Structure 1
Amino acid sequence: MTGRRYIAENGTEITDELVDRWAEEAENGFPGAEVTPFEGRAWEADTEPLRPRTIRLSDTMGHLIEADAKRNHMSVSAWTRAAMTERLSHLVDA
């Protein structure tokens, strides 16, 4: 490793050997694992198909969105969908 220690939430130390084992399991298709296929994206509850949309933004607004998305570990698309969902949820609540 790089000299840094990585500890999982449950207290388990993530070692080079553990990472190597995970990589080998992934490369071998997770033998013995039962995988249930599903539609959509695992990280989003709504699986309705998405289509690209174009909007016009100033450079300043674009940079602000990119910076906030990065701070929140999100893509710009995910950030934009979340912002629009939040705004539209006020219409449903009204």
Structure 2
Amino acid sequence: MSGNTYTAENGFVITDDIVDKWAKEAEDNFSGAIVTEFTGRAWEDETQPLKPRTVRLSDTVWHLIEADAKRRKMTVSAWTRKAILNELSSEIAAQR
């Protein structure tokens, strides 16, 4: 072991050597990696049905969202879910 060591929340010890290995794998586009598909949504313990919700927005903001969603080839609902989840992820990360 060389360099620093870090301990993850689950107790797993991470060394600079491991970080270097992960960086090399990322730079190599994770060649040979096996991806396991899963059903449901990564942020939920179980897949829950989606329900319509009401949000009050100005027409200007709504049109900006519609335009960006169209540019990204997404529905407005998918765009909104992604924006909300990105904000939640940022908040959770900031609290750690």
TM-score normalised by L of structure 1? 0.51
2:74 pairs with 1:74: yes
Q: Which one-letter code corresponds to 2:77 in the other structure?
A: S
Q: Which contiguous aligned blocks of 4+ residues in structure 1 show a shift greater than 4 angstroms? A: none
Q: Map of 1:17-28 to 2, 5 A cutoff?
A: none
TM-score normalised by L of structure 2? 0.50
2:65 aligned residue: 65
Count the aligned residue pairs. Answer: 54
- Deviation readout 1:20-79 (Å, 9 max, x if unpaired): xxxxxxxxxxxxxxxxxxx76xxx656321111001110000000000000000000000
Give structure 1 stretches of 5+ with no counterpart: 1-38
CA distance, structure 2, for counterparts of residue 87 and residue 93 of structure 1:
10
2:53 pairs with 1:53: yes
Q: Which has the higher strand share?
A: 2
CA distance, structure 2, for counterparts of residue 93 and residue 49 of structure 1:
26
